[in-house]
Structure 1
């Protein structure tokens, strides 16, 4: 029975690996590049940094809005992103470009097209540069297959005997051996060492890729509870039925940075309501890839009951809130990013080394088959000659 299960496991590992290999290589390689996106942009893009006098205060959203509206009077402005001290703020609007503003002076610093290098890489990572949902579905499906491959690979990796020879084969790369053996060790040994991070990458990716997986993971991590239903917040229009003034947007911003935000208070996203029923949304506590949204009634600035307080998070809610940070390796800063980069690089190599292992065995099997046929023909010829 165990022999049959091992054969099924090996068969699944082989053919699922061949089926998803190219997609895994693309997703893994683009993931390696995206790990250090923030660091690379900080070093290469001057418009992300804001010059200002010492102890100069940041201007409120209304003042920055005026500058952008003057530069682009025909565009709808949705929100402003404050990225923290010494950094420019940027505006989200119905345009192909993002507008960067010095938050201390209100001066427009740059207008940058969305379609930059990292946006191109991200499109490949999430959708293989295929328009619509098809590419995303292919990537999500390949991620699910890769998750299965990690489990079946662990079964194949498991040493038959935990003696010195078995441990060496499973934990060490025999660099002085022939290329085939080195390639096998690169697949087998490095696959094991990257397993934990690879599982985090795939699970967090599946949470973003499949609603059923998202709900199932929440149910599992919460001990059987269902994920809370999203409640869309609305401002109360029974007393006031006009869009609030910028004064309330500025007050909401101050509430976000002075009272609502727990850490990284200078980093915040503030929305500009378009309808009287829209809330003012604040994205606060933007730190290491995590954030939370708080919604305020635009007329009264009272907090609407659609979000969870940061100090009330259970395990499942914390995992949901930090899922993106866990996926990109931002949760632990530069150290985890380096580990994620190495693990992503190994994940990228696994389909390549695995394919070479299969191709080598395929050639070996052909040689064995050819040799067996030759021996059979030789035997038949000998029998024929003896009869004659």
Structure 2
């Protein structure tokens, strides 16, 4: 059995095995590419009018407003989304987000987190299975897709480069019969989407398998994996502080001292215990972010916090940029549109591929039936 036949067999049967999964991942990926844009158009409570012409209020003011609206509930965090956008509050053991006008502290709306997009995410991440099972299924489906994409390139590659093979390899003959158009859609579009499809799959594999992530880090020149340091506040200083005042200071530090990009968008999560730090998420820019932990008493940056992205080692830069590279957020619409199209093509490949196989199978059955009849 030649390598070409083995490769064709592998491409066919592993394509059939992973087909439904690839379709699900591709379609849900298409939707999630424009999640924020769709939500911005459909959810009016995401927008906040600055009717007073004032500045964005600090967390303590918004906190008191939410506390008044939901007395006795434990407020966890606030996510400032920037100018003319509502601030998002999360409450412990409550599957909803509270939207607050950051200029007036008015509670605008409360919406469940378990919405349509969460349903799509559950499909994209876990195929709607229990988390552990779904995570494994997603990872292995992506790995198979990654390998059969490479095998597809081998099948696509012509034996000889002539004018005819170039036309067959790079153009779709729209005036041909449906069977030929379907073949070209699989063959030609598969080639044009190859590099971006491999990037999307590779970044997904980094999130799915530790061994794959470690392999990428090794190729990027990283040393042995270092244990993650747990950030803890120093309770031995015995400093008396007001948590709301410290909260405002942590927010101010995140916006005016720590942030390099998009400073108005920041998350502040306040501590529940004396030993816990403030968590400040800043530099949320084109699919990347910076996790910073501040001592709740001194507000000093604690070990375990991320460096600025430009100061990171190549391997760590790849890890922190991985999400943005996966969802196509690193260059705005210039990358989101191609990502949408490639995700759509990836979803179509198992369908067009199955039709090619089914057509050959039917042709073989007809020949066999005809020979038996004769």
Could you tell me the TM-score, scaled by structure 1's length? 0.92
Alignment of 1:291-306 (within 5 A): 291-306=289-304
In the aligned structure 1, how far is the partner of 2:111 from the partner of 2:42?
A: 14
5 Å-filtered alignment, 1:159-238, equals: 159-220=158-219, 222-238=220-236
Counterpart for residue 116 of structure 1: 115
Give the structure 2 partner of residue 285 of structure 1. 283
| SS of residue in 2 equivalent to 1:277 | coil
- The farther-off stretch of 165-174 and 303-312 is 303-312
Deviations 1:232-259, CA, capped at 9 Å, x for gaps: 1111111228785211111111111111
* Residue of structure 1 equivalent to 2:369: 370
**2:75 matched residue in structure 1:** 77
Q: Quick check: 2:233–2:296 contact (8 Å CA) kept in 1?
A: yes
How many residues get paired? 372
Contact 1:243 1:275 (C-alpha < 8 Å) held by counterparts: no
> Contact 1:244/1:299 (CA < 8 Å) preserved in 2?
no
Per-residue deviation, residues 245-293 of structure 1 (Å, max 9, x unmatched): 2111111111111111001100000011100111111100111221110
SS at match of 2:284: strand
Change (3 A) 1:223 1:102: same
Alpha-carbon contact 2:126-2:135 (below 8 Å) kept: yes
| Gaps in structure 1 of 5+ consecutive residues | 376-388
SS of the residue 1:357 aligns to: helix
Q: CA 1:319 to 1:224, structure 2 compared with 1: closer, same or farther past 3 Å? A: closer
Q: Secondary structure of the residue that 2:2 maps to in structure 1?
A: helix
Normalised to the residue count of structure 2, the TM-score between the two structures is 0.96
CA distance in 1, matches of 2:211, 2:349: 28
Deviations for 1:177-196, whole angstroms, at most 9, x for unmatched residues? 11111111100000010111
**Partner residue in 2 for 1:38:** 36
SS at structure 2 position matched to 1:238: helix
Instruction: Check 1:244–1:320 CA distance in 2 against 1; reply closer, same or farther (3 A cut).
Output: farther
1:115-143, Cα deviation, whole Å (9 max, x unpaired): 21111111111111223311222111111
> Secondary structure at the residue paired with 1:286?
strand
| Residues 329 and 336 in structure 2, CA contact (< 8 A), matched pair in contact too | yes
Task: Return closer, same or farther for 1:131/1:243 CA change in 2, 3 Å cut-off.
Answer: farther
Mean alpha-carbon deviation: is it higher for 268-277 or for 3-12? 3-12
Question: In 2, distance between residues paired with 1:41 and 1:194?
Answer: 27
Q: Is the 8 A contact 2:78 2:87 kept in 1?
A: yes
Q: Which has the larger radius of gyration?
A: 1
Residue of structure 2 in register with 1:355 after alignment: 354
In the TM superposition, what are the counterparts of 1:18-167 in structure 2 within 5 Å? 18-53=16-51, 55-94=53-92, 95-167=94-166
Cα distance in structure 2, aligned partners of 1:149 and 1:126: 21
For 1:31 and 1:214, the matched residues in 2 are separated by 21
How far apart, CA to CA, are the structure 2 residues paired with 1:215 and 1:350? 30
Indicate conservation of the 8 Å contact 1:198/1:343, yes or no.
Answer: yes
**Any stretches of 5+ residues in structure 2 without a counterpart?**
none
